[in-house]
């Protein structure tokens, strides 16, 4: 297959999975990753699996490097670093591939703007990744939930693969706000130390998710922000669905999302590995928006406080119960 030379900047779980599928489909892909990932890929290549039972392997060596030289000569760069590292990665792109097309596959709503400010000559596209990827082993990445990548509309080569669709949209900012609302659940999952599917079977956990999202929706309404639908139902209905009795919830949820028993949030994995989380790009964004409009977001603030405590403790998830989080 001919096409652009693609560099994955910050190849963690999402970057290795998405980049690995592109490489398997014949694209020229380079990965900029941590030494741990580089070593694992050099030994065994990339193993990619998903919730539907699909499995494929990208043989070693799969051009994984620790040096930002991996970005040199790239026509397209998929930025997959945590939100707090966007500025540093933008500087590396400016030094190695300042005119490459850049697609932000990151959580939060501000990363594309930061990239545009740092890379004025580049074509910067915001995108939204709806699914969850779990590291099952040193170089094994498992996609545990369904969904397609949505990317800001404009000239773009065909990136879809047999098991992953890329689709262009015109309302990417609204889509990102919709995804941010869903991602507020990352902190709850990280604090619980439970698989996401197990957590969703508990009405107490779902009520906590619902209350946090409802609080955020009130803040967005005050700010005049209308989040787009990123699941089968509009965002304003999701808290009501989460609060339903479990048998009713199960029937409705089965039509909204496919999820397997492996799914956990990326924030849970960050705590497990002793890394800084993206709490400021998620709950922190809602709290800052509330402050600007003279409102409060106490439940989101509580989540941020507890995640920061867990980061400082460095012992992984604290395994809290819903009432402990609400306290």
Give the pLDDT confidence of 221-256 residue by residue, as tens digits: 999 999 999 888 899 999 999 999 999 999 988 877
- The residue with tokens 């040199």 is 72
Helix, coil or strand: residue 76:
strand
The alpha carbon of 108 is separated from its chain's Cα centroid by a whole number of angstroms, namely 8
How far apart CA 80 and CA 217 sit, in angstroms, is 27
Other residues' Cβ atoms within 10 Å of the Cβ of residue 221: 12
The phi, psi pair for 150, rounded to 5°, reads: -105, 130
Q: Specify whether the CB–CB gap between 8 and 19 falls below 8 A.
A: yes
- Up-side HSE of residue 127: CA atoms within 13 Å toward CB? 30
Q: What is the pTM of this model?
A: 0.93
Sheet strand arrangement including 133-137:
55-58, 46-50, 140-143, 133-137
36-60 pLDDT, tens digit each: 888 898 888 999 999 999 999 998 7
Spatial contact of 227 and 220, defined as CB atoms under 8 Å apart: yes
Q: What is the CATH number of the domain that holds 318?
A: 1.10.1040.10
| Tokens at 144, concatenated | 């545990």
Q: In terms of domains, do 157 and 182 share one?
A: no
Q: Are 108 and 278 in contact (CB under 8 A)?
A: yes
Mark whether 104 and 198 lie in a shared domain: no
- How many domains does the chain divide into? 2
Percentage of the chain modeled with pLDDT above 90: 86
Q: Report pLDDT digits (tens) over 194-223.
A: 999 999 999 999 999 999 999 999 999 999
pLDDT given for residue 2 in this prediction: 60
- Asked which of 111, 139, 170 is the last residue of a domain, the reply is 170
Task: Kindly report the average pLDDT of the chain as a whole number.
Answer: 94
Q: Are residues 187 and 156 in the same domain?
A: no
Domain final residue pick, 155, 170, 185: 170
User: pLDDT band at residue 327, thresholds of 50, 70 and 90?
Assistant: confident
Tell which of 137, 170, 203 closes a domain: 170
User: What domain range is 211 assigned to?
Assistant: 175-326
Q: How far is CA 98 from CA 6, 10, 91, 94, 115, in A?
A: 14, 17, 9, 4, 11
Of 79, 132, 84, nearest to 106 (Cα)?
A: 79
Checking 290-299 for CB contacts under 8 A at 24+ apart, the result is 290/219, 292/223, 293/219, 293/222, 293/223, 295/218, 295/219, 295/222, 297/215, 297/216, 297/219, 298/215, 299/211, 299/212, 299/215, 299/326
CA dist., res. 284 & res. 297, Å (int) = 10
Please confirm whether the linkage preceding 274 is cis (ω < 30° from 0).
no
Same domain, 141 and 180: no
Residues 98 and 179 in one domain: no
């Amino acid at each position: 297959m001919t096409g652009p030379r693609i560099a994955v900047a910050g190849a963690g779980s999402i970057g290795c999975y998405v980049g690995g599928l592109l490489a398997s489909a014949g694209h020229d892909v380079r990965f900029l990753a941590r030494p741990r990932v580089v070593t694992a890929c050099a030994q065994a290549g990339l193993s990619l699996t998903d919730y539907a039972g699909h499995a494929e392997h990208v043989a070693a060596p799969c051009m994984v490097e620790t040096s930002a030289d991996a970005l040199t000569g790239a026509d397209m760069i998929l930025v997959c670093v945590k939100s707090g590292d966007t500025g540093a990665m933008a500087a590396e792109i400016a030094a190695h591939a300042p005119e490459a097309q850049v697609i932000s596959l990151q959580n939060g709503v501000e990363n594309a703007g930061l990239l545009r400010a740092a890379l004025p000559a580049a074509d910067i596209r915001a995108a939204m990744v709806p699914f969850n990827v779990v590291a099952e082993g040193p170089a094994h990445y498992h996609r545990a939930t369904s969904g397609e990548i949505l990317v800001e509309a404009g000239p773009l080569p065909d990136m879809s693969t047999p098991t992953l669709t890329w689709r262009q949209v015109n309302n990417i900012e609204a889509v990102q706000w919709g995804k941010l609302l869903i991602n507020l659940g990352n902190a709850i999952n990280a604090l619980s130390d439970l698989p996401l599917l197990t957590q969703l079977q508990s009405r107490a956990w779902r009520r906590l998710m619902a209350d946090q999202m409802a609080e955020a929706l009130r803040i967005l309404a005050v700010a005049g922000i209308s989040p787009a639908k990123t699941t089968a139902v509009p965002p304003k209905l999701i808290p009501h669905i989460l609060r339903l009795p479990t048998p009713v919830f199960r029937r409705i949820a089965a039509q909204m999302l496919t999820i397997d028993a492996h799914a956990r949030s990326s924030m849970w994995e960050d705590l497990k590995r002793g890394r800084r989380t993206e709490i400021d790009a998620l709950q922190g964004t809602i709290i800052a928006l509330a402050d600007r409009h003279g409102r409060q977001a106490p439940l989101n603030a509580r989540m941020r406080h507890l995640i920061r405590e867990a980061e400082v403790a460095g012992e992984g998830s604290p395994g809290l119960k819903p009432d402990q989080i609400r306290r």
